[in-house]
Amino acid sequence: MRLELEGNLPFVAIRVGYRGVEIEIGKVLIDTRSASTLLSVDTVSSIGLFPLPEDTLHTIRGIGGSEVVFSRRVDYLQVGGRALNGFEVEIGGMDYGFEITGILGMDFLTRAGAVLDLGNLTIEFTGAEKMERGALAQEHFLDWPAREAQLRAYRARRGWMRRAPCPASLAGGLREPRWPPDLGLKPPQVVGVD
Amino acid sequence: MLWPEVRKAYPNQWLIIEALEAQTMPGNRRQLGRLAVIESCPDGEAAFQRYRHLHQEYPAREFYFVHTSREELDIRERHWLGIRRGDAARA
C-alpha cells in the first residue's frame, strides 16, 4: 500500500465499515506518536457515526490546547489488505486549521503488524499475514466440514474460470494468455462439483 | 451544579456543559466537579456540532457534549503532541 507524502508527513487511504456501510477515507495521517486512531466527524457522518448517549468521551490534551472526542467501535478498519474487526476509533472535529481526515495511531499500527518503509513509501503488514494464517488454521481445525465445503466451492470456481475459453474478440490475435504461469503443475481435479 | 443535579433538572437530553472545576485522577480519568449547563440540543449530532463551535470560539474553556441518561460521566484523558508539518509556512 502506497504512502503519500504531504508536507513531509505520511498519509494513507483507509476503509471503515460501520453497520454494514463502508467508506473510503483518503489523507489519513500515520502517526506513531498518537496512541489511538482518530477520524474526522465530517468524513464519517456519511455512515451515521454520531455521538450516542452511551459513548465514552476522550479529552485529548497537548500542544495547541485540548479537544473532546467520542469513542466508537466500528465493524472494521482496513488499510490495504489488512482489516481489524471490531476496532475502536475516536471521532472528533479535528479543526486544526488544515485539511486532515484522520490519524492512524499506534493502536492500529501495532495490532495490524504494520511495517513502514519510508525509503519506498509503502506500508505493509507482514505480521498480519502470519496472524491471518494462524486464524485460518484454527478455523480449519475447529470447523473442518465448513472449511472443506469452502475449499471445494473455491476450487470449483477456479476450475470453471479455467475451462472458460478466452473470447476471440478479446484475444484479438494475441496469443492465448497463460494463467497461472506454467510451473509444470497440473490444474486441480474437481470431483463431484458442477 | 453537580452532575446528579444536572440530570435531575434536565432529564434525558443532550446538553452542552462547561466544567467549572475538574481534575485528572490516576488512570487518566477526568473527574468533573461543579458544572454549568450551556444549552440543550435536539440530538447527538447537533450537540457535537455545537460543542465544536463553542470550543473554537472559546478554546480555553472546558466544554463537553453529554446525555443526561448517563449516571456517571465517563471521560478519559490522553495526550497527543500534535502535528508538526514540514510546510507549516504554507498553512
Residues A139-193: pLDDT tens digits?
444 455 665 666 677 667 666 555 555 555 555 555 555 555 566 666 666 666 5
- The percent of residues in chain A predicted with pLDDT above 90, rounded, is 55
The pLDDT tens digits along chain A (194 residues) read 899 999 899 999 999 999 999 999 999 999 999 999 999 999 999 999 999 999 999 999 887 688 999 999 999 999 998 999 999 999 999 988 888 899 999 999 999 999 999 999 999 997 655 555 445 444 444 455 665 666 677 667 666 555 555 555 555 555 555 555 566 666 666 666 55
Q: How far is B87 from chain A (nearest CA, A)?
A: 5
Q: How far is B4 from chain A (nearest CA, A)?
A: 16
What does each C-alpha distance from A104 to A101, A107, A113, A172, B80 come to in angstroms?
A: 10, 8, 13, 46, 13
Quote the CA–CA distance of A10 and A20 in Å, as a whole number: 29
- Which of B51, B49, B16 has the alpha carbon at shortest distance from B35? B16
Q: What is the pLDDT of residue A167?
A: 59
Own/partner contacts of A182-186, CB < 8 Å, gap of 24 or more, are none
- Per CB-CB distance under 8 Å, the chain A contacts of B78 are 35-36, 58-61
Cis peptide before A180 (omega within 30 of 0): yes
* Positions of chain B with pLDDT under 50: 88-91
Alpha helices in chain A (DSSP H): 41-44, 106-112, 126-142, 144-163, 168-171
Which phi and psi (to 5°) does residue A96 adopt? Answer: -100, 5
Helix (H/G/I), strand (E/B), else coil: B13? coil
Would the CB atoms of B77 and A70 count as touching at under 8 Å? Answer: no
Check if the beta carbon of residue A56 is closer than 8 Å to that of residue A40: no
Cβ neighbour number for residue A189 with a 10 Å cutoff: 7
Q: How far is B43 from chain A (nearest CA, A)?
A: 9
Which phi and psi (to 5°) does residue B73 adopt? Answer: -80, 130
DSSP state string for A16-49: EEETTEEEEEEEEEE-TT-SS-EEEHHHHGGGT-
Residues B15-26: pLDDT tens digits?
999 999 999 999
- Per CB-CB distance under 8 Å, the chain A contacts of B80 are 33-35, 60-62
- Nearest chain A alpha carbon to B18: A68
Mutation to test the B interface, candidates A4, A57, A60, A107, most B Cβ within 10 Å = A57
- Per CB-CB distance under 8 Å, the chain B contacts of A96 are 82-83
Q: How many CB pairs lie under 8 A apart between chains A and B?
A: 102
Q: What is the pLDDT of residue B90?
A: 44
Averaged pLDDT score across all residues of chain B: 91
CA A159-A160-A164 angle, 5° bins: 120
- Per CB-CB distance under 8 Å, the chain B contacts of A98 are 85, 91
Q: List the 3-62 stretch of B: residues with Cβ below 8 A of A.
A: 14, 30, 43-45, 47-48, 51-52, 55-56, 59-60, 62
Q: How far is B1 from chain A (nearest CA, A)?
A: 20
